[in-house]
Amino acid sequence: MPPQSKRSLLLAHLHQENDGSRTCIHCSDLVPTRFNAGSGATAWSYHLKEKHKSVWANIEAQTRLQQDDGAGSVSTSTGNELSSPGPPHKKQRTADSSESIASSSSGDTPSIREHFSVQHTAPLTILARALTMGGIAYRFVESVHFRDFLTAMKWHGPLPSRRGVKNSVHELSSELRSKLIVYLQSTPNPISIALDGWTNVQHNKVTNVVLLAGGCPFYWTSIVNKMESNTAEWVFQRLLPIIEELITKHRLRIVAVAADNEAVNGALIRKVALPFLVHAPCAAHTVQLVVKNVLESASFLTTVEQLHDLLSFFNAKEHRNALKQLQDVRRVKPLCLKKPNDTRWSSTFMAVERVLEMKKELNAALSCRPFPTSMNFLSSWRN
């Protein structure tokens, strides 16, 4: 195959940066591999062959396919465009798809595969990524309208299904996890395990396991408790195998476990009891607890109660509408009051900031209504 066409195949797997250098699109998620502007096909080929064997196999298969379809299919005038029937190729990753399609001399497109660049040999994988990143339900691929779209695109392959999309998502997940393991094995930074518990929409208790390296979080897995009591013993029986796998199988340097100050997490850390693991309490949760204690102190308690009374007064729709009308008359930026969150006590500070920002409008709205508690709150901030 002429060197120009081989170069085009390789360029499809590289992204050109503004400075003329190129990066491998298969490494860019976690470990970017950069080639300088003077690099050529030899360096690119070696990288793909050593680091991305499946991609390299696809390139070789594509090369053999072109040779079988016709050795003389390359135009001698341009050196890099196809002039006879065969899969079209992009000269650059950023080339317009319509130009790539137009380079084929065939009037009808036999497969939707020809609308993708060379590295996209599995359109279902691309579709799975698009659905996932767009938050679209997998059942979309089985809808009548999507099937009509495939018919219009002259799709002759097997029709995508929810099961097929789900399998492709698992393949993408496995590929990304392999990259993550390679990155974590090569990083000089020690690795910590962060635990974060929450309740999903199905009322299942979920504990996310996140790996922290160099200040960057990487999701690893989730422990889902659907029916049982979420005790320290229950979580421990499922967390310990995960820690053992990270250390013994993947050879990662785990040095600490971070969790919030919930009682079950304290008992969980005591059960793990590995001598080389440091228990690092969640700094954000610790700060929130400090703020909570400050707000409940005698110095601030009265002020906080007055704030809540003021916010409760504007829970009524008529009072909120009156406040909005005042802002319209004064031609000021329309703002809404903020309510403190029950579990993020620092949100009380943000609520106070918003009240002070709207102090003139709030005073005007309350001037004709007897509401001494709220007025006391505002009067303490007049200056």
Structure tokens at 214: 């160099």
Return d(Cα 303, Cα 38) in angstroms, integer: 67
CA-CA distances (angstroms) from residue 188 to 97, 178, 191? 41, 18, 9
Q: Nearest Cα to 141, choosing from 131, 133, 151?
A: 131
Q: Nearest Cα to 89, choosing from 123, 56, 62?
A: 62
pTM: 0.50
Q: What 8-state DSSP symbol labels residue 141? A: G
Where are the domains positioned within the chain? 3-107, 122-186, 189-281, 293-379
CA-CA distances (angstroms) from residue 298 to 293, 303, 310, 348? 10, 10, 19, 16
Residues 32-63 as b or e (16 or more Cβ within 10 Å = b) = ebebeeeeeeeebbebbeebbeebbebbeebe
pLDDT of amino acid 380: 54
pLDDT of amino acid 90: 39
pLDDT of amino acid 369: 56
Q: Return the CATH number of the domain spanning residue range 189-281.
A: 3.30.420.60
Angle formed by the axes of helices 41-51 and 3-11, to 10°?
50
pLDDT of amino acid 360: 83
pLDDT of amino acid 73: 42
Work out whether the CA dihedral 183, 187, 193, 196 comes out positive or negative. Answer: negative
**How are the residues of the chain apportioned to helix, strand and coil, as percentages rounded to the nearest 5?**
50, 15, 35
pLDDT of amino acid 104: 38
Work out whether the CA dihedral 139, 142, 145, 149 comes out positive or negative. Answer: positive
Structure tokens at 48: 């793909």
pLDDT of amino acid 276: 81
Q: Which residues pair with 193 in a beta bridge?
A: 211, 257
Q: What is the mean pLDDT of each run of 10 residues along the chain (383 residues)?
A: 62 79 74 72 79 81 68 39 36 40 39 41 75 87 88 81 86 88 91 88 90 91 90 91 92 89 81 82 80 85 85 85 84 86 80 87 71 53 46
